[in-house]
Amino acid sequence: MKIFDKENKISSLVSTNSNLLPVINRFGIQLGFKEKTIAEICAEKNVNPDFFLAIVNTYTNENYFPEEELLEFSPLLLIDYLKTTHKYYNEYVLPKIERLLDAVMKTCRENCSSLKMISTFYQKFKVELHIHLTQEDEKVFPYIIDLYHNRRLTEGKTIGAYEDEHTSVEEKLSDLKNLAIKYLEPTYDSNAMNEFLQTLFQFEKDLYDHARIEDLILVKQVMRIEESLKTNAAR
């Protein structure tokens, strides 16, 4: 798999992996790249090119994970990126999935119980995801920002509990997909259903990479800060 560098044309990034378009947009970079390189666009948009490359390469290659490199970036940079991603999920992806699901439901004429079950599962997944994203936006990220700026531990608060929370959200999405693939009664319009399912698959991949960045980079960074503060306090 190709690893992108600063001298690559930004257009080649999108031609290689069109899923990168929303990722690139989160950095404020939009289409109309002309012949510009990644370095040129990043300078223009005031984006840290190393951080940009670490993120796009992580999304493109399953096996590429520049942990050490990414651990060097400020957690604030990462939090900004993660928050923009949450906004993209809440304001664009989830409403889109709902619209597509509604469209499938409308095509069902009889025997719609399994389709209704999909809708119930989707609602459960959405509630859980919403709680998770809100918790990160309102509790976890502010905790990290405070820790980073003030270099002070707060009694009873650590990043530890935050670590394995992703599994439950990912499981709900996987259940939803399996239910549709294995047990759905074929009483709906196939094209509408496929569009819904493909969007779900794409979202699953995006969520997975998002969680990977949080667990393997952000949590690690914060643990390092907490450890060093504990060591200093013990001296």
Binding range to Fe ion, per CB under 5 A, among 90-98, 106-114, 133-141, 193-201: 133-141
**Which lies closer to Fe ion via its Cβ, residue 136 or residue 206?**
136
Provide the mask over 156-195, with x wherever binding to Fe ion is found by CB under 5 A and - wherever it is not. ----------------------------------------
**Which lies closer to Fe ion via its Cβ, residue 206 or residue 214?**
214
| Min CB(161)–Fe ion separation in Å | 13
| Min CB(55)–Fe ion separation in Å | 14
Provide the mask over 194-233, with x wherever binding to Fe ion is found by CB under 5 A and - wherever it is not. --------------------x-------------------
| Min CB(17)–Fe ion separation in Å | 21
Q: Which of 224, 78, 212, 72 is nearest to 145 (CA)?
A: 78
Number of Cα atoms under 13 Å in the Cβ half of residue 46 = 1
| Min CB(80)–Fe ion separation in Å | 12
The owner of tokens 């936006």 is 137
Amino acid of residue 125: F
Q: How far, in Å, CA of 41 to CA of 30, rounded?
A: 10
| Min CB(115)–Fe ion separation in Å | 29
**Which lies closer to Fe ion via its Cβ, residue 29 or residue 129?**
129
Q: How far, in Å, CA of 127 to CA of 169, rounded?
A: 10
| Min CB(136)–Fe ion separation in Å | 5
**Which lies closer to Fe ion via its Cβ, residue 60 or residue 85?**
85
Q: How far, in Å, CA of 167 to CA of 172, rounded?
A: 9
| Residues numbered 58-87 forming contacts with Fe ion, rule: CB under 5 A | none
Alpha helices in the chain (DSSP H): 10-16, 20-25, 38-45, 49-60, 67-71, 75-88, 94-107, 113-135, 141-150, 166-183, 190-213, 219-234
Q: How many CB atoms lie within 10 A of CB 227?
A: 10
Please give the size of the binding site for Fe ion, defined by CB under 5 A. 2
Q: How far, in Å, CA of 142 to CA of 154, rounded?
A: 12
Binding stretches for Fe ion (CB under 5 A): 136, 214
